[in-house]
């Protein structure tokens, strides 16, 4: 940043080293045992899979929630995941991708706080101590190493930039920071709004007048930033009514997490479910800052802003005590925050700002005391970054994600199933279990042929003897679209207790396309973002052409890397269109890669069309054989979709997408191998008969196995 040109390079070197030391725990291979870390890692993997399929902004991850799909990025801000996906595009693992996003956020947050203090006071010691304090305060580190709160960690980047942009009337920076925060964490927007309001009021009082033109320009810049991010926040807000999060505001009682006064001091930087944490060194630092503020109040510049931040700090503490319980019950926006401890993020902002303010006092004693206290904070907090970590198996995605969801009784890499569509009436723990007994029904579909398939899109040619209900093994959302014969729109609706997306076909021969599309809200929000972004770039081109060029080049490089990754990793769906006598069809398959290393898992996706409901659960088999040999050298046998979609859950006329994995022995010699699949009754070992095959096996194709 520009302000660093004026700062002594030795100081810059020391601060850079000390900030990077806060990332020491991320240098250990693996993923930390945190509250949300696994979920964020799997969302980054989901984004990579979508980019592999050529989908640039996937609102719906089809492989989440045990293969039923989940609208994660339709409701959860995506920015931190796009940063995290960069290491995956160059072949690194998911744990490193998650750590990379955390690391970038921590470094940028330190620089943004330093920039804010420098611009206010032009004092290098104050800027650097504020940056270090911002980095090492316990809650900031707990967000990384205990909570695994990736989005909240990124919010620390934008808060100082927003305050500084308002202070200096930097409209472009304000627009960028507004868009960045909206695309980072929606609850952090609620946290900072009252702070910005008080900050602007203090500026007006400090200037002894309200300059309406200045305020209008600031509000206009914030609206421009909101317009740039509208493609995300507008549909997330207006379409929240379709998922659980829009109907469960009272599912968490914030008053249960208010802190008794005796818990105001904790020796460990942890989040206690019924309390806030205050590290003793943090309390010592804060107490010293407040004493120095009182003693040298007359020597401070921008006293009104300092007073506002001190007042906000006091309010954040009060909001976490039982005294604030009536407010949490009565004020709806507070209830959206869920947990009172979220205000500790604003407390970190205020404390770091006050450290910077105190450090501008022109007294050697003050500088020695503040440097010593910040050094003590760093020395005390560094050991807390060394947490237990474990390996994250990127090669077994999404099966490992499903296992984690089973263990923690979660769905779609969320704790509270907040993005589960309202049409799903099956309890989450039953999604992957055998279905209940029901009458046997048969679909009037006579023939079916797969034409093409891609992420969240499938095209079939079907012949039906009467009106047929055809469903897809994905949760229904109003975004799903159905087209008959490429042009005729059909109604989509939720089917059964699982709430699967379905449509009705008339009798006859026809084509059907089922695809995730855009609602009117999504289309409007997308246009708002496009028009606002284009207008902003054109306006900026007149003033800062270099900045526009840098932005376009950076965007072009990212696009090129994504296209390159897509071109080198994407494998098309291969139609098979094999018929099981009176039971259905195996429409096609898609290997994750045509070349697999021996000792690694081989992933493939099978596309089935079921003709009738089944009273019993059947197994599928996948055999890897040498050419011309019948004995498999590797195989999978079990329920479809890696054991999580029993056939008693299959509807008549349902397209089932099952994601399977075959473990390849390390001893396999390099070469070309055949891949076979089929279905059988595990009780009698009798295979389903296949039209045109006597052995009940369907030949899928070949893969290359390499050392």
Is residue 1 predicted with pLDDT exceeding 50?
no
Q: What is the DSSP letter of 255?
A: G
With H, G, I as helix, E, B as strand and everything else as coil, classify residue 99.
helix
pLDDT, position 495: 97
pLDDT, position 582: 80
222-277 residue pLDDT tens: 999 999 999 999 999 999 999 998 666 656 788 888 876 655 544 444 444 333 44
Distance CA 368, CA 365 (A): 5
pLDDT, position 57: 97
- pLDDT band at 523; cut points 50, 70, 90: very high
Spatial strand order of the sheet with 492-495 comes to: 492-495, 500-505, 468-475, 654-663, 601-610, 584-591, 574-580
Give the residue from 49, 60, 41, 46 showing the smallest Cα distance to 566: 49
pLDDT, position 264: 54
Q: What is the DSSP letter of 33?
A: -
655-677 residue pLDDT tens: 999 999 999 999 999 999 999 99
Is residue 694 predicted with pLDDT exceeding 60?
yes
pLDDT, position 553: 92
Distances (CA, A) of 620 to 432, 557, 603, 609: 16, 43, 15, 14
Positive or negative CA dihedral for 210, 211, 215, 218?
negative
Both tokens of 674, joined, read 């055949």
Is residue 358 predicted with pLDDT exceeding 50?
yes
551: buried, middle or exposed (CB in 10 Å: 19+, 13-18, 0-12)?
middle
Is residue 345 predicted with pLDDT exceeding 70?
yes
Region 610-616: mean pLDDT is: 94
pLDDT, position 351: 96
Both tokens of 5, joined, read 């040109």
For all residues of the chain together, what is the average pLDDT? 91
Positive or negative CA dihedral for 343, 318, 382, 42?
negative
pLDDT, position 246: 67
Say which residue the tokens 């079907």 belong to: 462
161-191 residue pLDDT tens: 999 999 999 999 999 999 999 999 999 999 9
For residue 312, the number of C-alpha atoms closer than 13 Å in the C-beta half-sphere is 28
pLDDT, position 529: 98
- pLDDT band at 4; cut points 50, 70, 90: very low
85-142 residue pLDDT tens: 999 999 899 999 999 999 999 999 999 999 999 999 999 889 999 999 999 998 999 8
pLDDT, position 416: 83
Question: How wide is the angle at C-alpha 520 spanned by C-alphas 514 and 522, nearest 5°?
Answer: 85
Give the residue from 660, 493, 703, 678 showing the smallest Cα distance to 67: 660
Is residue 13 predicted with pLDDT exceeding 80?
no
> All domains of the chain, ordered by start, with CATH?
2-390 (no CATH), 445-516 (2.60.40), 574-706 (2.60.40.2550)
**Percent residues over pLDDT 70 in the chain:** 94
- pLDDT band at 278; cut points 50, 70, 90: low
Distance CA 652, CA 444 (A): 9
Region 43-48: mean pLDDT is: 97
Give the residue from 187, 538, 126 showing the smallest Cα distance to 355: 126
Is residue 18 predicted with pLDDT exceeding 50?
yes
- pLDDT band at 10; cut points 50, 70, 90: low
Is residue 293 predicted with pLDDT exceeding 70?
yes
pLDDT, position 206: 81
pLDDT, position 127: 93
- pLDDT band at 317; cut points 50, 70, 90: confident
368-421 residue pLDDT tens: 999 999 999 999 999 888 888 888 888 899 999 999 999 988 998 888 889 999
| Least confident among 10-24, 456-470, 560-574, 623-637 | 10-24
């Amino acid at each position: 940043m520009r302000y660093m040109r004026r700062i002594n390079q030795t100081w810059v070197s020391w601060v850079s080293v000390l900030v990077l030391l806060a990332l020491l725990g991320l240098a250990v291979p693996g993923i930390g045992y945190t509250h949300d870390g696994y979920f964020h890692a799997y969302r980054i993997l989901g984004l990579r899979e979508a980019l592999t399929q050529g989908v640039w902004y996937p609102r719906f991850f089809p492989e989440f929630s045990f293969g039923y799909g989940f609208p994660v990025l339709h409701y959860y801000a995506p920015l931190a995941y796009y940063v995290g996906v960069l290491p995956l595009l160059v072949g690194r693992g998911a744990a490193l991708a998650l750590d990379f996003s955390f690391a970038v956020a921590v470094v940028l947050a330190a620089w943004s706080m330093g920039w804010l203090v420098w611009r206010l006071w032009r004092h290098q010691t104050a800027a650097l101590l504020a940056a270090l304090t911002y980095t090492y305060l316990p809650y900031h580190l707990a967000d990384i190493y205990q909570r695994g709160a990736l989005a909240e960690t990124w919010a620390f980047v934008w808060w100082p930039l927003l305050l500084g942009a308002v202070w200096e009337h930097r409209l472009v920076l304000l627009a960028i920071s507004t868009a960045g925060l909206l695309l980072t964490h929606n609850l952090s927007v609620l946290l900072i709004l009252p702070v910005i309001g008080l900050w602007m009021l203090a500026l007006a009082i400090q200037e002894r007048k309200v300059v309406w033109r200045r305020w209008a320009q600031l509000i206009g810049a914030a609206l421009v930033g909101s317009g740039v991010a509208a493609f995300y926040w507008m549909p997330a807000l207006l379409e929240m009514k379709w998922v659980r999060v829009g109907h469960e505001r009272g599912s968490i009682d914030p008053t249960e997490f208010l802190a008794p006064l005796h818990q105001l001091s904790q020796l460990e930087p942890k989040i206690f479910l019924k309390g806030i944490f205050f590290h003793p060194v943090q309390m010592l630092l804060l107490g010293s800052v407040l004493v120095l503020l009182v003693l040298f109040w007359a020597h401070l510049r921008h006293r009104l802003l300092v007073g506002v931040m001190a007042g906000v700090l006091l309010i954040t503490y009060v909001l976490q005590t039982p005294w604030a319980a009536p407010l949490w019950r009565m004020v709806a926006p507070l209830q959206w925050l869920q947990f009172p401890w979220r205000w500790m993020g604003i407390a970190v902002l205020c404390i770091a700002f006050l450290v910077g303010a105190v450090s501008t006092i022109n007294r050697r004693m003050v500088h020695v005391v503040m440097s010593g206290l910040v050094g003590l904070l760093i020395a005390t907090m560094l050991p807390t970054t060394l947490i237990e970590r474990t390996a994250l198996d990127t090669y077994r995605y999404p099966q490992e994600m499903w296992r984690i969801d089973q263990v923690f009784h979660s769905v779609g890499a969320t704790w509270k199933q907040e993005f589960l569509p309202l049409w799903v009436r099956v309890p989450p723990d039953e999604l992957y279990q055998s279905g209940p007994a029901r009458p046997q029904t048969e679909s009037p579909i006579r023939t079916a042929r797969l034409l093409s398939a891609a992420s969240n899109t499938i095209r079939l040619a079907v012949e039906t003897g009467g009106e047929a209900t055809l469903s897809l093994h994905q949760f229904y959302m109003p975004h799903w679209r159905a087209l008959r014969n490429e042009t005729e729109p059909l109604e989509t609706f939720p089917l059964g207790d699982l709430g699967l997306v379905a449509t009705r076909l008339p009798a006859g021969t026809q084509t059907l396309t089922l695809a995730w599309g855009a609602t009117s809200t999504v289309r409007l929000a997308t246009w708002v973002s496009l028009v606002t972004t284009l207008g902003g770039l054109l306006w900026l081109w007149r003033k800062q052409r270099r900045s526009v060029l840098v932005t376009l080049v950076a965007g072009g490089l990212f696009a090129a890397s994504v296209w390159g990754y897509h071109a080198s990793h994407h494998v098309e769906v291969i139609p098979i269109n094999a018929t099981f006598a009176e039971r259905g069809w195996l429409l096609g398959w898609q290997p994750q890669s045509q070349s697999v290393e021996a000792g690694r898992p081989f992933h493939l996706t099978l596309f089935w069309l079921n003709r009738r409901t089944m009273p019993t659960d059947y197994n599928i088999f996948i055999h890897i054989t040498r050419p011309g040999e019948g004995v498999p050298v590797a195989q999978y046998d079990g329920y479809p979709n890696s054991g999580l979609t029993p056939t008693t859950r299959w509807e008549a006329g349902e397209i089932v997408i099952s994601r399977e994995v075959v473990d390849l022995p390390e001893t396999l010699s390099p070469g070309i191998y055949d891949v076979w699949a089929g279905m059988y009754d595990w009780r009698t070992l009798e295979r389903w008969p296949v039209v045109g095959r006597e052995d009940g096996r369907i030949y899928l194709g070949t893969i290359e196995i390499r050392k």
